[in-house]
Amino acid sequence: MKAHLTRRYMLSASHRLHSDEMSAEQNTAVYGKCNNPYGHGHNYMIEITVSGPVDERTGMVCNLIDLDGFVHQNVLERYDHQNLNVVQEFAKQVPTTENLCIAIYEIVKRGFDKAHLERVRIEETMKNSFEYRGEGR
């Protein structure tokens, strides 16, 4: 029997949406106020959904302590209270929330092996949320 588990985490970070590949005018046209040279911040709500068989002994898909510990150490400690523009994975990539979603997915996919990763969803604002389920999904 397969079940899904979704956990929510909060992190605060800043970013500036800017591409060195585009002119100042193009950046302003594409990113608008998010291209502010001083950046801006968000309180991101991150959902990580994993799935798997329900363990007959524990009744769980995975131990929440294991998932929480992994996310805290590998995701929250990496991004919380950071300027995303200076984080290594965004050195050559615009730190949009779409790209943050993919980066978090890849971290969890590579390192958390106690359940199958289904998706990462990030709520950036009350109006914007982003979801990534991996390539080809």
| DSSP string computed for 20-51 | TTS-HHHHHHHHGGGG-TT-EEEEEEEEEEEE
99 vs 87: CA distance, rounded Å: 12
Read off the tokens for 32: 């608008």
Given the residues 34, 89, 116, 131, the one annotated as active site: 34
Given the residues 101, 124, 131, 135, the one annotated as active site: 124
Active site residue 25: no
Active site residue 42: no
Enumerate the H helices of 16-137 as residue ranges: 24-31, 64-71, 77-79, 97-111
Active site residue 62: no
Q: How many CA atoms lie within 13 A of 6 on its CB side?
A: 9
In 3D, which of 92, 67, 71, 89 has the Cα closest to residue 80? 71
Q: Tell me which residues are annotated as active site.
A: 34, 81, 124
